[in-house]
């Protein structure tokens, strides 16, 4: 029964939220709170932080990585159901999935050759 399989997930989420909530509440009773500007400054070697932290230009590899992830992760999605029914669909299933993986490899090889995977320290 699907409901009985996924109901615990809800319970667990509720449990975690409850526990964290209680902990935070207890903590808030116990902990001191005396902020002052210097303390509230972001950690930046004691200098005043200049501008929005996220406003800086991030290196493109981060974006490329995100894009690669989106593509690869989603393609992996096709592999799971295939792996489950592997024996039932027989040879044709093998061939088709190998073609799929091959295409994936082509894309991967391209990304590699193109230097998308090079990461300068």
Partner 1 sequence: MTATTLFQSALASLPEIVVITGACILLILGQFVRKGQEHFLVWASVAIVLIAALATLMLASEVRPAYAGMFIADRFAVFFKFVFYLATLLTFLLSRKYADIEGIGSSEYYVLLLFALSGMMIMASATDLLSIYVGLELMVICTYVLTGFLRRERRSNEAALKYVILGAVSTGIFLYGVSLVYGLTGTTQLDGMAAAVTGDPLDPGLLLAVVFIVAGLVFKVGAVPFHMWLPDVYEGAPTTITAFMSTGPKAAGFAVILRVFLNPLVAASNVWIIVAVIAVVTMALGSFVALVQDNFKRLLAYSSIAHAGFAIFGVAAGGADGVASVMLYLLIYAFMNLGIFGAVIMMRNGDFSGEVIEDYAGFAKSHPGLALLMLLYLFSLAGIPPTAGFFAKFYVLVALVEHGFVMLAVIAVLLSAVAAYFYIRIVMVIYMREPKRAFAPALTPLVRAALAVTAAGTIGIGLFPSWFLKLAQDSVFGG
Partner 2 sequence: MELIVALGLIVFKVAFLIAILLLLPLPLTWLERKIAGHIQQRMGPMRVGWHGLLQPVADGIKLLTKEDHIPAEADRFLFKLAPILALAPPFVVFVAIPFGESISVLGAEITLYVSNMNVALLFVFAVIGIEVYGVIFGGWAANSKYAVLGSLRTCAQMISYEIPMGFAVIGVVMLAQSMSLLDIVRAQTDVWNIVYQPVGFFVFFVAGLAEAQRIPFDLSEAEGDLGAGFHTEYSGIRFAFFMVSEYAIVLLVSVLVVILFFGGWNGVLIPLPPLLWFVLKVAFFVYVFIWFRFTFPRYRYDQLMAIGWKVLLPLSMANIIITGILLGAMAAP
Partner 3 sequence: MVPLWWYIVLGVVLFVIGAAGVLLRRNILVVLMSLELLLNSVNINFIAFGRYHADFRGQIFAIFVIAITAAEVAVALGILVALVRNKSTLKVDDVTVMKG
Q: Which residues bind partner 2 (CB under 8 A)?
A: 4-9, 11-13, 15-17, 19-20, 23-24, 26-28, 30-35, 37, 39-44, 49, 52-54, 56, 58, 61-62, 65-66, 68-69, 72-73, 76, 79-80, 83-87, 90-91, 94, 97-98, 101, 104-105, 108, 112, 117-121
For 108, 109, 119, the CA distances from 95, given in Å and listed in that order, are 20, 20, 35
Residue 92 binding partner per list partner 1, partner 3, partner 2, none, with a CB distance cut-off of 5 to 8 Å that depends on partner kind: partner 1
Residue at token pair 């999605």? 77
3-state secondary structure 77-102: HHHHHHHHCHHHHHHHHHHHHHHHHH
**Dmax over Cα atoms in the chain, in whole Å?**
69
Residue 44 binding partner per list partner 1, partner 2, partner 3, none, with a CB distance cut-off of 5 to 8 Å that depends on partner kind: partner 2
């Amino acid at each position: 029964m699907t409901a009985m399989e996924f109901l615990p997930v809800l319970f667990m989420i509720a449990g975690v939220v409850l526990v964290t909530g209680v902990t935070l509440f207890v903590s808030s009773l116990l902990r001191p709170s005396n902020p002052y500007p210097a303390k509230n400054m972001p950690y930046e070697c004691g200098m005043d932080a200049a501008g929005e932290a996220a406003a800086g230009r991030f290196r493109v590899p981060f974006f490329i990585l995100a894009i690669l992830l989106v593509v690869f992760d989603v393609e992996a999605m096709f592999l799971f159901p295939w792996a489950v029914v592997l024996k039932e669909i027989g040879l044709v299933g093998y061939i088709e999935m190998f073609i799929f993986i091959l295409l994936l490899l082509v894309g991967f090889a391209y990304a590699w050759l193109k230097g998308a995977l090079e990461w300068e320290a």
